[in-house]
Chains A and B, each alone.
Chain A
Amino acid sequence: MAKARILVVEDEGIIAKDIQNRLEGLGYAVPAIASSGEQAVSKAAETQPDLVLMDIRLKGEMDGVEAAGQVRDRFHIPVVYVTAYADDATLQRAKITQPFGYILKPFETRELHSAIEMALYKHEMETKLRESEQWLSTVLTSIGDAVIAVIVSDSKGLVTFVNRVAEALTGWKGEEASGKDLTEVFNVVNEGTRTPAESRVTTALREGTVAGPTDQAVLIARDGRQIPIDESVAPITNDQGNVTGAVLVFHDITERKRAEEMRIKRARLAELGAQLWLSHDIKGESLERPALDKLTDGFRTHLDSAAWGVLAVEGEQPALDMFLCKKFSPEQLALIIEKATTALDALGEAPLAKEAVVTRIHGDDPALPDVGPIQAQILLPLVVRGKTTGLAFIFSDRSDAYSPDEVFLFSMLAHQLAVTLENARLFQEMSALDRMKSEFIAIASHELRTPLHNIRGFVKLLMDGKVQDAGTQREFLSIVDEQSAHLTRLVNDILDVSRIDAGRMQMGKETLPVDELVQGTVAQFRNAAEEKAITIEPILPPDLPTVEGDRERLGQVLTNLVSNAIKFSPAHTAITVRARVDGDELIIDVRDQGIGIPEEALPRLFERFYQVGNSATRTEGGSGLGLYISKKIVEAHGGRIWVESKVGQGSTFSFALPLKVPQQKAAQPVAGAVMEVTGR
């Protein structure tokens, strides 16, 4: 064990020497002797003794008390006073320097020894204590939780320690808080009731129990900030079991609360999504309003959105449904509509004509809060079964919108919406198709029954011998013949239409010389025209290009148009069949000088079973399906068909076919290849 080194401060040389001898005799080392206060300090600095024996009364400006003060403060070396005088004043002054002991002169070596040993021991303990406190302080400062320590006084808790985290949360610095009532520094209210929380610390102090964490508390910081916290309290008891203090640990649970909120939001929105999914009533133009209104509410409540909506490509017409959660000025509304339609441009293949978009605004309510400038938006393409059906979007005026969680929530719901909308659309399409089919069947069966009735009737009369006159017999047989022909045409046409509707009309693909087609048809109808004293002539420019298509079907179209022309032309009029090239199309016009078609009838001409004129012309060959079938055939070739007509002046039916090959006559015939029947 190392010898303790003791600095002796004594201005009387002999006494100093004597003390030194005694110390060395006890086994201590004496590195130096100082004879004045100043010297005491400098020697202490120089030799760094373990202890200083200081005479209180020293010569010079600085006396022992002052020197001791310096030694203690600067070097933390324990000082033991040696003195002959023990008056109160001096003792008072001496006490302030917190000496480690006094020895009164004259003293026994025994006394010296025990005083020094006690002083050294005490110093060691103090040092250990300080280090321990230091360690504790470091720990408390560096842990992430906020810690406040209190001591009990008059059954109140007075703050003794506030760590850094607690300082930040409460807004009180440690020094300021020290000694204050805990409730002043740690101002906590109950989350729900906003009343001051029954001080759990008080309870803990009183009953000496540990109170576990609670999370209903809201801390009100010095600057008024409100921070949700959870807190726990542990009392400190002394050896007798009395509560002397407590340690309060708490931390900021804002993040945790936010996560909890998000979880609840997610659950609520998921519920909404489920309801949407289950909403059966898929009638009308769009989804049932209550379901959509609920969604709007949900977005308003859980996502604090400004507006949301869907831009759907419904058939040919895009439609934008905008649901407002807040109140928009016309300019603000125009802005978000613009954003939505522009976004659809970006994801579509064909550019969208913005004017074509039908916009519907819902929920425009003056009672809604005003919307601020739009800070964030989500624009989400909706894809159902690989097909882009539109765009969902949501706008917010919140500066912290949208977190990844919120984007996830929205996209989840938007996709469910997309699927539901798509299903609704399909349902409607199916219903419409269903209705069309029923109608078609009704009309078709009616049309078929009429000639059948006639044929059967006349045959029965003939068979039952009810027709004796030969002339009448011939008349009736002729009618049967004609009705059978009509029936045949009807059946063929109905079958064609069925095939078209089922998407099973296959077109052949060959290279067709247009002039031959026209000449052939004209020749076919020449006799019929002559019978009615109508002229029919082709007009064919030289060097007509060829087209690719189905010879039989295109011939069918031409036949249909020419036979109509003849049917509706009075005697002594002319019909022309002209072929011409216009740009990248080959156009054929069938022109007559017949009775013409009234304007109201024009748009419906190409519909199924639509017939203009009286029943005579109807039975004479028309099924009401000819133009419809012609239209489908022409469109299947990538072409188009139209009519121009004036009542009393005549009509011109035209159809155009795209010129696939460049303008040369000779081309490889591609027989047998199948073209798809694409609609326009």
Chain B
Amino acid sequence: MTKKILVVEDDPAALRLTSYTLESEGYEVITATNGVEGLRKAQQEAPDLVVLDVMLPGIDGFEVCHRLRSDPDAPQARTPILMLTAKSQEADREMGQKVGGDLYLAKPATPEELTDAVKGLLGQREEQRV
């Protein structure tokens, strides 16, 4: 079954990069360019994983993550979330953890690092299910 990944990123070049990288690994990619759109699509499309940038116009990535986790009964509460961002200070990593992100990847990150991280998160999910 093809996994569906939601990429939330406002920088067009970065979005293109991430989308292409994941598609060339065989994933189905849906995109959002701001926090509100990201939330909506996460709820509507039920992706298997979310790649989330932090610096977004309107509400930022931390807030999106927090809201996704806020309803423990909703399916998104358990969807793996990978934060991919140029914000890399210790405080940012801590925040990422606090709002319920599963992995924090700091830019610059190579396509390989990204795909490894994604596979890891999805692989975990598969193991758990078994």
**Chain A residues close to B by CB (< 8 Å):** 442, 445-447, 449-454, 456-458, 460-461, 464, 466-467, 472, 479, 482-483, 614-616, 619
Contacts and interface: CB of A to CB of B under 8 A. Distances in A.
A451 B17 CA distance: 11
Interface stretch (B41-49, B63-71, B103-111, B116-124): B103-111
Contacts of B12: 615-616, 619
Interface residues of B, number: 25
B111 A446 contact: no
B57 A460 contact: no
Nearest to A455: B108
Chain B contact residues: over half helix, strand or loop, or mixed? loop
Contact of B24 (A454, A466, A615, A616): A466
A461 B14 contact: no
B89 A442 contact: yes
A466 B20 CA distance: 9
B10 A453 contact: no
B88 A615 contact: no
B17 A457 contact: yes
A532 B2 CA distance: 41
B4 interface: no
Contact of A453 (B14, B24, B33, B55): B14
9 contacts: A446-B88, A449-B86, A449-B106, A454-B13, A457-B17, A466-B111, A467-B20, A615-B10, A615-B12
B14 A454 contact: yes
B78 interface: no
Interface in B47-88: 55, 57, 86-88
Contacts of B106: 449
A479 B13 contact: yes
Contact of B14 (A447, A450, A472): A450
A456 B14 contact: no
B20 A450 contact: no
Nearest to A618: B11
A103 B58 CA distance: 141
B87 A458 contact: no
A631 to B, nearest CB: 25
Contacts of A461: 17, 20-21, 24, 111
A457, A464, A466, A483: most-surrounded residue (chain B CB, <10 A): A457
A457 B11 CA distance: 14
Given A450-B14, A619-B13, 5 more contacts: A449-B106, A450-B11, A466-B20, A466-B24, A466-B111
A445 B92 CA distance: 14
A446 B55 contact: yes
User: What 5 A-B pairs have minimum CB-CB distances, sorted nearest first?
Assistant: A453-B108, A453-B107, A449-B86, A457-B17, A615-B10
A473 B14 CA distance: 16
Nearest to B16: A479
A557 to B, nearest CB: 28
Contacts of A450: 11, 14, 86, 107
Contacts of A457: 14, 17-18, 21, 108-111
A461, A467, A472, A616: most-surrounded residue (chain B CB, <10 A): A461
B110 A456 contact: yes
A483 B13 contact: yes
Contact of A460 (B13, B89, B110): B110
Contacts of A445: 86, 88
B112 interface: yes
Nearest to A461: B111
